[in-house]
Structure 1
Amino acid sequence: MGQSTTQEDYTAPLGDLLYTTAPAWDVLDRHVLRFYGHFQEAVVEANLENFRTRHCCVMYYLEDDTCHITERKQENSGMPQGQLIRRHRFPGPSDGYLGWQDLRIGDELHIYGRVISITECDDWTRQYYEEADMRQEGAIPPDQDDFELSQVKIAGAPKQPRTYEKVYHEVKIGGGHINKDMQQFMEWDRKVCRFYAVFDDLSMPQFERRPFEILFFLADDTVEIREKYPLNCGRDPFAIYFRRGPLKRGKAEVHGPLDRHRKKEDMVSLEDFAVGGTTELLGQRFYIYDADQFTRAYYADELESALEPAQDVRLPERTVPRPKTPPYTGYGSWEDSMGSVHHIMPKPPKPDFVKLFKYDGKILRFTAQLDNPKPEDADRVFILNYHLFDDTLSIHEPPQRNMGIMTGKFLEKGVHLNQITGKLFEVQDFMPGSIIKVYNRGFEIMEMDDYTQKFLTEGNVKKNFDLQAVVEKLREGMRQQFPLVRDIFRKFDADHDGVLTMVEFKLALQKWGFMVTDEEALIIMKHFDTRKDGQISYNEFCDALVDEDYTQEMMKTRPPLDEDPGNYEELARGKLQEREETEAVRTAVRAIGDQVYRHTQTFTRLMKEFAHMTHTDSVTCQQIVIALNSIGKDFSLQDVMRCVSYVLPEVDFQKVNYVIFLKAMVTSYHDLSGKR
């Protein structure tokens, strides 16, 4: 065996006196000797052949004297092929390892029990051996076995030419060429009819109406069924109910690989779908209630049959009856007990300050006797005090001579329950002749005092105000409390819109202790409103509150108070409704704008929802509400219409371009500043 390349030193002349030495792995990197050969292997399980000739390739790497053998693959050979022996140093013919000098065309390579006959090498290998004065022999033709000869016969068998007559006869007997459906594909590719359907799922313990989308692909008459899962429905997120493919009518069937092909007449076609109709697919009866605009246009133009209008398949929302309020136990106040009913963690009750301010100090008094009393209690008289500001009741018994009973406080002041009506005491319960029951004691109402009688007959007890004096006192009180008119105006402008409405002005009067009626409040408001437009602006408020400067003429006297309201109430109420609607529009635009502008993922999710709803670029306001609800954003139809009319003033609510709408929501987000 010759000396290995790894033991040699390779030198290169750099002049007459200087030489350099490089290692073999650097000089001979990626230098490979390639030989071709074959070996025979016995075939014991076949009657048609006794052996198989396996052709292989031997590669020798000069950088480290390693080799590996691969076998080229043959189609339908029935045996694993590829790498036969992995790369490593092969044992040589004698002691040591195999060297490049041991590989010669015509010789045999004995390796691990296999005898490989070397028959050929590539051109680079021949050139390498010629430079080393070891010329290789010519190529030896490889052996062929019976299997290889049969493959050559199959590959070289003549084919019958495909003529028009042959195609005609194939079509006539029921066959056809492979492009018979290409015309349908070219015309209707990427065109899909979309139907919306539901079916009632009775297999679950609780009844459920499940929504679906049925997609019919016009290119190849295949069907795909998708389930439209609502938000938080509790189902696994697998939307594909039936993957795209040909679908047979009727019940679902399981077919094996040996089953015959199904006929095209048994497959689902467009004639099986109609709005308002029912079709059986996969063993379920789908009720089709709507279709998109493209599907309706396709039916009208191509099939010449218009689809029915959309059907309403929404189930009425399940009404959960409100549980009965448990009876008042008597422990603590009534408000504290009701706090435990309305909230899991009770909150402190909030007093009604408006009612407290309006009815502070007003008490209705009634006289009463015991109902069905004992003989010794027949002459007892009680005074019932009903406090209007907090709906509390107290009972005391006035002293009587020679009664023999200790009189005084009979029932502590508090919120008590009328056991006859089962509710808290109201003013209507104390009418003369009626009977009330508290703590198992019945009382018959006898009479009432004069104040109570006036309150119940006239509706309320009011003071007769001098409205001119009220105006002057109001001006003086406001100027004394606040040094600047601006601070006074901001104090009573609750919604910070720059004007005082009828409600805000009446609250300002109540602030200063003037319990006037609505008619009197309108008269005073009309005096402040110089333009008579139903609201008080800041300039009008300043003119009415601040005295005019002195001029050359004498100071002008203020006009007297006109006590005839006229039609000013209609103007004031109209402006109040206008302001409320403006505030509602502002609130709706800010709320929806926060979701679209500040949450970027909402914009993308809404675009996907609209694309699933329709193939056009426009949607209705109802569809916008559905899309928002499907991503967990709950908005009413009225708020959505207010938002659409604000960002797109002249748009039709039934045809809203959702791309322009979403872009307008983003660009107009900072038009409405937040309130301070």
Structure 2
Amino acid sequence: MSLPFLPGNSFKDPTRTKYHVSQSLGFKNGYALASRPLRAVGGDPLLVNQLTDDALDELANTQPTLTYGNSTKPAPVEFVPAHVAFDKKVLRFDAYFKQTVHESPNEHYRLRDVRVFYYLEDDSISVVEPMVENSGIPQGKLIKRQRIPCDELGRLWHWKDLNLGIDVTFYGKDFMESEGIELSAAEAMPTDPYTQTRHLPTYSYTTPSTYDKLKQFIEMDRHVLHFFCVWDDRDSMFGEMKPYILHYYLVDDTVEIREIHEPNDGRDPYPVLLCRQRLPKDRSCLPANFPAGVMEVSENEVKEWLSPIDLGIGKTINIMGRRFLLYDCDGFTKEFYRVNFNVTNFTPIQVQQLPPQAVEQPLPPYNGFGSLEDSKQSCLSLIPQPPKKDFIKMLENDGKVLRFAAVMDSPRAEDEHRKFIISYYLSDDTMAIFEPPQRNAGILGGKFLERMRVLKHRFTLTDADEYVLKYMEAHADQFPTATIQSLQKKHGKLPPSN
């Protein structure tokens, strides 16, 4: 037996830890379903809910509850919360409001179209204005989603208070008719007078031009006139004649001038002198009141533009104050002028300048210091370099020596009978002189001159060996014909005369 519920007889159960209310909603396969709680506060089982719904319906229909017989009770209606029954159900109304305009003399008021959304889930309302291009006013969400008061007493707007023709235009009629509310007839939105003036058609009386840009683009795309030209600037100080290439684009009548660079020309490597643009024929032909000091020349001031008829071989055009002479063109340009302008003479103009004559710079006389090659190298550069040897000549002529018999050309009588052998080394153009010893000559023979490069000695050549004759015959273009014939006669190998 339990104790009576009196002061002093009640105590706290230490084993009870749950005091929350059981859930009356559940989810199955992603759908919200109502469920009866099975536990009370604290987790105690509810005995009244142990029976199933079918058993409760059967008891309600069979057990008599009245004195005068059995009474039939309907099945209990399941409880469904509003946020479940009306989830994602929104009433949409089309509405407008009139806004007074004080800043513009062209309009007095403006009608603004809005959308009113009524959310049945929590009776909240939001107002959104559709975006209109170039309207000049902020648009979008005018009133965020909230419950809006209806009057000063604090009553909130309800879906039962809405209807067509009062404050908003309502298109969703299904829900209202299901609740027994008859909607009034729909009303058309009035026309905004200022917006209507913006949509009035504009009439243009400009006479259409016969010039067709689309036809020019289709027919002349990638067709370029190619001219070779020069800029003659020799009249100015340090001026020169510079070559350029002029491109005329037929697709849009623009002109481009490109530079021609040569190795070591001393100019900056800029590829374009004039970027692609339309060129006026005369930039100085401007109205008298045009402020040329502060404004650039635009298309409104130019009366005539440069065209293909103004170009041609031999013509001089003025571009940005520079005179360009057109002296030649390519094959496509010649065919274009032949077909369209009946031009047949395409003789190029000779504009190439003759190279300046080289100034002869004679070497100063030998000063006696070092060899001749050393003295020459000191004249070729500020910092003298050692003379370079011809290694190819040394390899090809290695071991090749030309030997000659000679006598000394001397006025003294004792040198008349002296004989010498001169050896000429082809590898480095050096010479060595040897004097054979003679009996009772009174002069010691032997090496007369060490192998070296010499200037000139007065010797008379009297004979040569057979190798010299073969070498001269093999290189007949380097020796006089009389010299070769004299050696052939000396050795008895002169060919018979015809």
TM-score using structure 2 length: 0.49
User: Which structure: larger Rg?
Assistant: 2
Structure with more of its chain in helix, by fraction: 1
TM-score using structure 1 length: 0.38
